[in-house]
Amino acid sequence: MIIDIVTGVLLLVGALFFLAGTLGLLRFPDVYTRLHALTKADNVGLGLIVIALMLQADSWFVVGKLLLIWILILLAGSGVAHLVASTAQKRGLKPWKK
């Protein structure tokens, strides 16, 4: 019972992080700030959701698989964010100044 409540709370907070990241994607002025908001918020949000699912898992094998999923998305997300930012920089997109 307690586990279900904790799972629900963690899922909600994770979803809120995703919402925050998406809000940053829509409202921030240039590529670099958007990438920053998106990657950070999405990684934390995903981590919380993965922990919530781990609490509901049937076996340690499933826990391991969920952990692997989180690590892989962390790797891929950060790598892709770096690639987008460096390509934007090479194309000459200047960071937004006030």
Partner 1 sequence: MEEIDLLLLFDAVLGFTLVWLAWQTLSSLDLFRAVVLFIAFGLLMALAWVRLDAPDVALAEATIGAGLTGALLLSALAQLSARQKHESETSLFLRLTLGVLMFFLLIGLGYIVFSLPPQALGLSVEVAKNIELSAVANPVTAVLINYRSYDTLLELGVLLLALLAVWSLGSASTRKSAFVNPVLDLLTRILVPVFILVSGYLLWVGAFAPGGAFQAGAVLAAAGVLLFLNDWHLESKYTGFALRSVLVIGLVMFIAIGFGFVFLDRVFLEYPPELAGGFILLIEAAASLSIGIILAALFLGRDPSVKSDSCSDIDTGVHK
By CB under 8 A, name the binding residues for partner 1: 72, 75-76, 79, 82-83, 86
Smallest gap from residue 94 Cβ to partner 1 (A): 20
H helix count then E strand count, the chain: 3, 0
CB-based burial label for 35 (10 Å; 0-12, 13-18, 19+): buried
Smallest gap from residue 38 Cβ to partner 1 (A): 14
Smallest gap from residue 86 Cβ to partner 1 (A): 6
Nearer to partner 1, 79 or 98 (CB): 79
Nearer to partner 1, 61 or 98 (CB): 61
Q: 75 is written with which tokens?
A: 């790797």
Nearer to partner 1, 76 or 97 (CB): 76
Q: Which residues contact 20 (CB under 8 A, 6 or more apart)?
A: 37, 41
